[in-house]
């Protein structure tokens, strides 16, 4: 775990200003170590939002067996929610619990896939990008819906994709990850390019629309009686 980036007890105005500054630190180039483990992250809430629940699943990456990746470790971490829901500031609400989950891991991944946005965010700092800075690891955001940007119609076949734009800037891609199923929104978080992000998402796709790391993290997170 890298050194702390900032305090979490911030007013919304301060948090937005910090997002703008942190976004300047993101690396949109490929700086990945050889990938042997990939983590999937899913974050939810319990007790009417009072408790944040982070699920992290670490899978062994083996090109010979992909996308049937074996689970090496999985953890759930719960803690009191630190910020109310404020549009655009979701990472301040979610990441503290995610960091708590990563601290419990005995195997640290070389690549992290997050159920959420990377740079496809109004201030280019979605939860995947913000988490990447904290962990100093390559991260990819895979979201089920669009937060910002515009795009053309995407084809209906698996693997079809179109760029996601904010003005003239490409901030992600809309990917048809399963034929004739609603697309996902892929954007780089940190230390990875968009093209490489798409390549890794495609490599990890099984029979569903979500890549296996985030699919399994979502499944783990849905086990409300899980106390690990």
Q: What is the pLDDT of residue 20?
A: 98
Q: How far does Cα 148 stand from its chain's mean position?
A: 16
218 close to 42: Cβ distance less than 8 angstroms: yes
pLDDT category, 222, cuts 50, 70, 90?
Answer: confident
62 carries a ligand binding annotation: no
CA distances 102 to 28, 80, 116, Å, are 23, 17, 17
Tell me what the pLDDT averaged over the chain comes to. 95
- DSSP per-residue string spanning 91-118: HHHHHHHHHHHHHT-SS--SEEEESS-S
- Class of the CATH domain delimited by 19-141+187-222: alpha beta
pTM confidence score: 0.95
Lowest mean per-residue pLDDT among 1-5, 148-152, 179-183: 1-5
Domain boundaries, the chain: 19-141+187-222
The stretch 9-16 carries a mean pLDDT of 96
Q: How far does Cα 186 stand from its chain's mean position?
A: 9
Tokens of 114: 């997050």
The stretch 14-26 carries a mean pLDDT of 98
- pLDDT, tens digit, 9 for 90 and up, residues 36-91: 999 999 999 999 999 999 999 999 999 998 888 999 999 999 999 999 999 999 99
115 carries a ligand binding annotation: yes
Q: How far apart are CA 199 and CA 186, in angstroms?
A: 11
The stretch 185-197 carries a mean pLDDT of 98
Q: What is the pLDDT of residue 67?
A: 86
161 close to 172: Cβ distance less than 8 angstroms: no
Q: How far apart are CA 214 and CA 112, in angstroms?
A: 9
């Amino acid at each position: 775990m890298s050194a702390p980036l900032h305090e979490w007890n911030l007013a919304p105005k301060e948090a937005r200003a910090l997002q703008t500054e942190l976004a300047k630190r993101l690396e949109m180039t490929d700086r990945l170590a050889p990938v042997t483990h990939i983590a999937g992250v899913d974050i939810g809430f319990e007790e009417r939002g009072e408790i944040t629940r982070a699920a992290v699943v670490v899978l062994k990456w083996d090109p010979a067996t992909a996308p049937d990746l074996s689970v090496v470790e999985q953890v759930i971490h719960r803690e009191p929610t630190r910020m109310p829901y404020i549009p655009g500031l979701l990472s301040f609400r979610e990441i503290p619990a995610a960091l708590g989950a990563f601290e419990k891991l005995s195997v640290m991944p070389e690549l992290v896939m997050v159920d959420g946005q990377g740079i496809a965010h109004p201030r280019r700092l979605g939860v995947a990008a913000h988490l990447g800075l904290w962990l100093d690891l390559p991260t990819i955001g895979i979201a089920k819906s669009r937060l910002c940007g515009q795009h053309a119609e995407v084809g209906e076949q698996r693997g079809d994709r179109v760029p996601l734009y904010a003005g003239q800037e490409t901030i992600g891609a809309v990917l048809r990850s399963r034929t004739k199923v609603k697309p996902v929104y892929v954007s780089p978080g940190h230390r990875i390019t968009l093209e490489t992000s798409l390549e890794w998402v495609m490599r990890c796709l099984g029979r569903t629309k979500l890549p296996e790391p985030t699919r399994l993290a979502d499944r783990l997170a849905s086990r409300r009686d899980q106390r690990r």
